[in-house]
Every structure is written in C-alpha cells, then in structure tokens.
Amino acid sequence: MTASTIVRRVGVIMNGVTGRMGTNQHLVRSLLPIREEGGVRLADGTRLVPDPILVGRDAARLEALAARAGRCPWTTNLDEALAHPDAHIYFDAQTTDRRAAAVRRAIEAGKHVYCEKPSAGSLDDAVDLARRAEAAGIKHGVVQDKLWLPGIARLRELRDAGFFGRMLSIRGEFGYWVFEGHRTPAQRPSWNYRLAEGGGIVRDMFAHWQYILADLAGGVRAVSCRAVTHIPRRWDERARPYDADADDAAYAVFELENGATAQFNSSWCVRVRRDDLLTIQVDGTEGSAVAGLRRCWIQPAVATPRPVWNPDVDTLADYRGDWLPLPEREAPPNAFRVQWEHFLRFVGDGGVFPWDLAAGARGVQLAELGLQASRERRWVDVPRLESGEGL
C-alpha cells in the first residue's frame, strides 16, 4: 500500500472459531492473510481490512487462539461481541444446531451476516433467516467454497466453452474412512454423527452438491436417496463410546434442470481408490471430464477409444492413460479465502453476491428432501426457491 491509500477497518465477529473449520479455513487461511496483506481493494481504491473478534464457549482455547492470531480481541459472550462498535460483520462456524439462533441475534443487531453451510438445521429456519436478513436490509452470504476449487472451476470453464456438447450425466464420488475412534482417533468431530447436534452426511454434503449442480447444470428438479448409518458405535474426543445415530453414508440420484442425471455417493465409510477424496465426472456428447479438488482430465469425442467387451481375456487397455490432463495453472488462493474476499467487497462496494442466505436455504432444502426420499423410498420433487419468490 502507498502512503496515500485510504484504509477502512471492519470488525468481523467470528463465532465458533475454535472449531476445525473456523480456525483453519476461515481464520488462519482466510482472514489473517487478508489482513496481513493489507485487506481487499474496493472499487474506489480504498483497502478494506478485516479485524477478527473471536467468540466461543471455551475461554482457554479462545485465549490461546487469539494470541496465535496476533492478540485478537475475544469473548465468550456473544452479546458483548455484537455490541462492539467496530464490528459490522457476523460470521458463524458453530455446530449446525446453534447457528440459526445466533444468526437471528446478529440480524437483529444490524450486522452483515456470513455463515457456514448448512445455514440452519431445518428449511423453515433457513428460509426465516433469509427473510429476516432481506427485511433488515443487511448484506448476507453462505459459504460455498467448492466453487473456487481449481478442479471444479475447470469443469465450469469446459462447460462454458461448449466442450461437453449436450451434457448427459454427472457422477460424484466423495468420502474416505473416518475412524471409529477406539483404536485410531477419528478425523472428524463426534457431533457429525449425532442427529441431535445437527450431524449426518446428508445435511453436511448435500448443501455442497446443491450449489455445485446448480452451477454446472442449473439445479436439481428431483431427488432419490438412500441414507444409512453404517457404523452405529463410535468413540468421541475423550475416548468415550457413544451411539452414532446420524447417517454416515448416502447414495443419491438427482434429476437436473438441464435434462442430465447426476449420481453422488457420499460416505465416511469408504476406502479411497480414486484420484482424490472428491471426484466429479461430467459426460457429454462431445467430451467428458473428471475433476478432483485441484486437477482435471479430459477425453474429447475425437480422442475417445473404442472399448470392446470381452471378459474372457485380460484387458491390455490403459483406461486412465486415455485421458488428457488439463495444464495446471498458477495455484489460486485458498477457496475459502476467495469467497471471503468476494464477501468483503460485497460489504464494501455493494453489487451482487449470489451466494446468499436464499442460496443457503436451497442447500438445506435438498438435504431435507433427500432424507425424506430415503425415509419414503421414492423420488421427491424439489420445488424452486428463488430470492424474489417467497423469500
């Protein structure tokens, strides 16, 4: 920054920041680097610099994290944070069951709101938050980080270039083995496996699938799903056994607005033998592409081999070798940071921010309808939820 650069500082209340996502993705890899590099540049040349204010329930953990983050102010009292005169943004990364009530308080306090997904534990609450935010005239958004992952961004570029021709299908494979916790420590928090605390892979991951499919294919018209709890007994962070009653795997088919069909397997009970923890394959009449989190491979129609089915002999084909890697570009910033920069500019400049609480409600809706489809063992239609229609 030059000596003449105008700097505006904005306090960002970060509630639930001591959790894994709040600490790593939102504080350490997003807001702190943005602050250290002089904030985000606004349209008039001003630099908007975020100043985190940490909120949580564990004073010792907050104090340690605040010291690590350059002695940020911290408190265990949300009302105290909301009353801070320089705090204009409220961010929520708490467990899902605590989110809606806290976001309502922030809206009532006149704060701009940005929160993790799912935006609420129920569609009614998610829609209510969107309506309250619009009525209050605040700016609001929901994390949709996968849109800025390099691999998935390349799928969007290929679609825009007409590479796929007519899109036929999308197949997603997500997951890995999450240890039960008695022999090897679990890699995910125990609340993920308790329904009462907002756990379950459908509520966690269908919000991601909703915005990815909306981005690639215009959205979901109907869903069929089988949600299951494969491992009903797990051990928590203190090595205590507990009953895991939330779904830990889901097998879903989605009917898409562009006429294609999507299939997504989501599981915390699967061992990985693929290119990444998440892979998405898009097949079209003119070509196919497979994306992981950071890389993408393509097979255009003119380079598609002609496999012949013959189960009586060993195949000599190198099916992976038939795919062409797209050249890797300069590594982009952390995906969470990219969306934070968009939101900060939205607060500072205005304009359009499509990843709002209405978009968050659509993610919650798909999860609820997926669970309904699983319970009722049938296809369920997905009504349209638009910002200007009922929200």
Q: CA angle 307-308-314, nearest 5°?
A: 95
Q: Tell how far CA 217 is from the center of its chain.
A: 18
Give 3's pLDDT tier (boundaries 50, 70, 90): low
pLDDT category of residue 389 using cuts at 50, 70 and 90 = very low
pLDDT per residue as tens digits for the range 291-321 = 999 999 999 999 999 988 989 998 888 999 9
Share of the chain above pLDDT 90, in %: 91
Q: Where are the beta strands (DSSP E) in the chain?
A: 7-15, 40-41, 47-55, 74-75, 87-92, 112-115, 140-142, 167-175, 220-228, 233-235, 241-243, 249-256, 261-267, 278-284, 287-291, 296-300, 324-325, 380-381
User: Which token pair is 24?
Assistant: 């790593």
How many other C-beta atoms lie within 10 A of the C-beta of residue 18? 22
Q: What is the mean pLDDT of the chain?
A: 95
Q: Which long-range contacts (CB under 8 A, 24 or more apart) does 226-229 make?
A: 226/250, 226/251, 226/252, 226/374, 227/200, 227/201, 227/202, 227/370, 227/371, 227/374
Q: How many CB atoms lie within 10 A of CB 239?
A: 9
pLDDT of the residue at 330: 79
State pLDDT tens for residues 320-379. 999 999 998 877 789 999 999 999 999 999 999 999 999 999 999 999 999 999 999 999
Mean local confidence (pLDDT), 59-86:
95
| Residue 260 pLDDT grade (very low, low, confident, very high; cuts 50, 70, 90) | very high
The per-residue pLDDT for range 234-256, each reduced to its tens digit, is 999 999 999 999 999 999 999 99
pTM: 0.94
pLDDT at 315: 86
Looking at residue 333, its pLDDT comes to 81
pLDDT in the model for residue 58: 94
Question: Residue range 275-288: average pLDDT?
Answer: 98
SS (H, E, C) 54-89: EECCCHHHHHHHHHHCCCCCEECCHHHHHCCCCEEE
In this predicted structure, what is the pLDDT of residue 2? 60
**What 3-state class would DSSP assign to 46?**
coil
Element containing residue 136 per DSSP (H, E): helix 123-136
The answer to whether residue 53 scores a pLDDT higher than 80 is: yes
* Domains in the chain: ranges and CATH: 7-145+336-356 (3.40.50.720), 150-332+365-376 (3.30.360.10)
Q: For residue range 172-212, what is the model confidence (pLDDT) as tens digits?
A: 999 999 999 999 999 999 999 999 999 999 999 999 999 99
pLDDT, mean of residues 125-133: 97
pLDDT bucket at 1, cuts 50 / 70 / 90: low
Q: Which two structure tokens, joined as six digits, stand for 360? A: 């968050």
